[in-house]
Chains A and B, each alone.
Chain A
Amino acid sequence: MCEELVQEVFVEAYFSLKSYRGQAPFLHWLRKIGTRVGYRFWKEQAKTKSYMPLTDIDAIEGRDKDVIESSEAAQILHSLLAQLPRADRLVLTLMYFDNCGTKEIAERMGWNRAMVKMRALRARKKLKTIAERENLLEKLGWMS
């Protein structure tokens, strides 16, 4: 799936080359396309109602390791974020995985910065509720 999305990003970038004005670095422009392709993918995914199962979180429970693997951490975080509405998910995904600020998120999506800030705040609250419902702290007790 990831491979198909990467392919889609490059194809879309090729056909959108006319819109690249050269004012910002090419990578920024490409990231913007990548973000939008991913966002669209979530929309399609929501239609088919296929999401990452939460069993991944249960799978890590009771493991002997003291430190969680980065791929496992990413998997857990993705499965938690997948329960959020699409726009909230995007904001927090960019914040957590790409270390993006509200300004950059707003630029990538063509959204208002104040709106992104507000969404981030609300999304965090929702994520907290989800994580508490999933007993995340208990499951990750060995991490603290």
Chain B
Amino acid sequence: MDVLKAIEKLAHQAREERIPEFDVADRVLQQIRPAEEETFGLLAFELFASASAVAASVVGYFSVSIWKLITSPLMQFFAPLQEIRLW
């Protein structure tokens, strides 16, 4: 008999092996729970970060428009003197 045929025969026999059953539900839950809590903590942090980013954007939007209105005090030196009519 060919070795590979013998192996095929072994494999055929091996496939009939009864697969053991394990109840891992409790241990899986134990492993998942801490990670879940961590995820919730992270979620709160993400929410706070998002709210901060929105607030910063609003402030930034108004700041830019106001910034444009501000004139530099240095520019006053170069600005032409206004003539005042004395009489």
Q: Which positions in A face B, CB cutoff 8 Å?
A: 2-3, 6-7, 10-11, 14-15, 68, 70-71, 73-74, 76-77, 80, 95-97, 99, 124, 127-128, 131-132, 136-137, 140, 143-144
Contact = CB atoms under 8 A, between A and B. Distances in A.
A34 B13 CA distance: 23
B24 A140 contact: no
Nearest to A129: B3
Contacts of B74: none
A128 B9 contact: no
Contacts, number: 77
Contact of A96 (B3, B11, B31): B11
B10 A73 contact: yes
B6 A140 contact: yes
A94 to B, nearest CB: 11
Given A77-B11, A137-B1, A137-B6, A70 B17 contact: yes
A73 B3 contact: no
Interface residues of B, number: 23
B86 interface: no
Nearest to A3: B22
A14 B10 contact: no
B22 A2 contact: yes
